[in-house]
A and B are shown apart, each in its own frame.
Chain A
Amino acid sequence: MIKLKNLELRLPSGFVLRIDSLEIGEGEMFAIIGPNGAGKTTLLNVLGLLQETGAGALEIAGRNALVPSDRTALRRSMSYLFSRPCLVNDTVYNNIILPLKFRGEKDDGRAAGMLETFRITGLRDCNANQLSQGERHRVSLARAFVTRPRLVLLDEPFSSLDARGKEAIIADLGRLTRAAGTTVVLVTQDREEALSLADVLGVMKGGRLLQRGGPQELFSRPASAEVADFMGVETVLSGEVSAKSDNLCSVSVAGGALEVVSACEAGEKVLVCVRPEAVSVSKAAGAGSMRNQFKGRITAAEPWRLEYRLSIDCGFSLLAAVTRRSLDELGLKPGDEVYASFKATAAHLIRR
């Protein structure tokens, strides 16, 4: 659906967006994630034909998107939602059929279908400016999908919603796009939002696409420290592969040695990435299959969302995530001696 090559865009602010290659398949849900200032919205504006590109080639639905005369026709095959729903001062119904009016098309029942899909049938005749934030977002989505676009671009569309509202809309959106086979490109800073919607993720930082892949790949095999950092890999240790047997690497880190399944070779300098969720904590040494087991002391226990983050000093710093229930059952608190374990397959090496 989208093929972007050799994009180089310099903005007056000095920011440079540089994408060597990006392909998004038909029907794919692609989430672009990254910190503020990464260039996510700028990239989306390029795909939405709102931003002139400098150098590069862009093909959308098999057509050259850089030909100015084709721009309106291409824009009419896609929809783009900004983070703030820009609704006109009119009824919900008239907002939803606005794209049809622009195309000179009549409403053949599509608007009613969208009202139902996004559960806003009861708001049909209400003025859009009198709706709540969540309702405005639903109207905006209904308006974006009424033309049955092949491509939908979403720029942090749920950023102003509360958790519950977000969850409900994401579920409705996911059902609709999967049923219709719509290609979706979503920009978000929220990893969980990306995970719940996307088939493929792309991590951006500093105007570059650092890594593209499935959610599992990005979480468990980040290609660089920057990607690891953004994906929430919180234990990152510098080390060196001291030995390798089959695909099992022994890695020396300050204060210890780890075993990690990896393609790295002996002598390579690496970063060892371990997700907090992959670390098990117990009061007694375990006899399980985990190759990595370290005795350490809890230095801090901090609540984080629905869990607790334990900082454990094993000679090196290791972060573990435990549920509140586990914390209470084990009676874990700072100062306690514990055993922290993780599998060789749960850690990941990044070459330095």
Chain B
Amino acid sequence: MQFILEGLQKGFSLLVSGDAEVYSIVGLSLLVSVLATAVSVLIGVPLGGLIAIKKFPLKKLVISLVNTGMGLPPVVVGLLAMLLLSRNGPLGFLGWLYTPAGMILAQVIIATPVITGLSLSAMQSLDREFYRQMLTLGARQWQALWVCLKEVKLSILAAVIAGFGSVISEVGAVMMVGGNIRRQTRVLTTATVLETQMGNFDTAIALGLILLSLTFLINTALTFIQQQKAGAE
């Protein structure tokens, strides 16, 4: 209990003191995870929608793969991203290994199946005839898909919340791809692991609580938007 109280105190003092390193870690955590979520939304939401409305061979297999992707172990994703981005890897020419860009790529690989799977599920909850009805009203396929996605926007928002949650709190992928380099690729999760390994439990707890608070604040904001829209309907 003493540990936690000390951690709380330290976390609070780190934030109010304007500690440059802490702010750098928090800032990078947000940058990487928010960008990764945004890219995953741009890929995952339309992809989930298309898989839901289109008929194609092996559709059930594709959905199974998406669902499997939702449970990808972050450390395996990190290993995959590292192999891709290493000097001899197919994306080595990008020079993204041990950079925030590489970390974003790894987190996109983690978040995209989550957002795709939940968007797909949201679309499948819509009346089967809805998409076809939009086509019969003269919509092009992309127009019909857009209207359908708007109909399930509350569920899509839940997918975004889940996608963000899956990346802000993961450590395996960003550790492997980013390398936890001070002031370059150190984020809240990797910093917490480091401080724990060094025995600085009060700092580790402080960072952990900052991470929790950040996650709570962002999710609260998104949930507020979601519930406000739900109330308006």
Contact = CB atoms under 8 A, between A and B. Distances in A.
Interface of A: 48, 50, 72, 75-76, 78-80, 82, 84, 86, 88-89, 98-99, 102-103, 127, 129, 143-144, 147, 153
Contact of A143 (B137, B143, B150): B137
When A and B form their complex, which 7 residue pairs have the shortest distance between CB atoms, in order from nearest?
A: A80-B136, A86-B133, A76-B138, A99-B137, A102-B139, A102-B138, A86-B130
Interface residues of B, number: 17
A79 B136 contact: yes
Contacts of B135: 50, 75
B42 interface: no
Nearest to A99: B137
A253 to B, nearest CB: 48
Given A88-B151, A89-B233, A102-B143, A72 B129 contact: no
B129 A98 contact: no
B132 interface: yes
B233 A129 contact: yes
Contacts of B136: 48, 50, 75, 78-80, 153
B147 interface: yes
Nearest to A71: B135
Given A50-B132, A127-B233, A99 B147 contact: no
Contact of A72 (B132, B140, B151): B140
Contacts of B139: 102
B19 interface: no
Contacts of A102: 134, 137-140, 143
Nearest to A78: B136
A54 B133 CA distance: 23
Contacts of A99: 137-138
A294 B27 CA distance: 98
Contact of A86 (B129, B138, B143, B150): B129
B129 A84 contact: yes
A80 B135 CA distance: 9
Nearest to B133: A86
B233 A86 contact: no
A143 B132 CA distance: 15
Interface in B179-233: 233
24 contacts: A50-B136, A75-B135, A75-B136, A79-B137, A80-B133, A80-B136, A82-B132, A84-B127, A84-B129, A86-B127, A86-B129, A88-B150, A89-B151, A98-B137, A99-B137, A99-B138, A102-B134, A102-B137, A102-B138, A102-B139, A102-B143, A103-B138, A127-B233, A129-B233
B138 A72 contact: yes
B138 A147 contact: yes
Nearest to A45: B132
A89 B127 CA distance: 13
A86 B138 CA distance: 14
B99 to A, nearest CB: 43
A280 to B, nearest CB: 47
A103 B139 CA distance: 7
Interface in B107-142: 127, 129-130, 132-140
A78 B127 CA distance: 22
A72 B141 CA distance: 9
A130 B9 CA distance: 52
A144 B135 CA distance: 12
B205 to A, nearest CB: 45
Nearest to B139: A102
B58 to A, nearest CB: 15
Contacts of A50: 132, 135-136
A75 B141 CA distance: 12
A59 B140 CA distance: 21
A76 B139 CA distance: 8
Q: Which of B130, B135, B137, B151: most chain A CB closer than 10 A?
A: B137
Contacts of A144: 137
B31 to A, nearest CB: 34
A75 B138 contact: yes
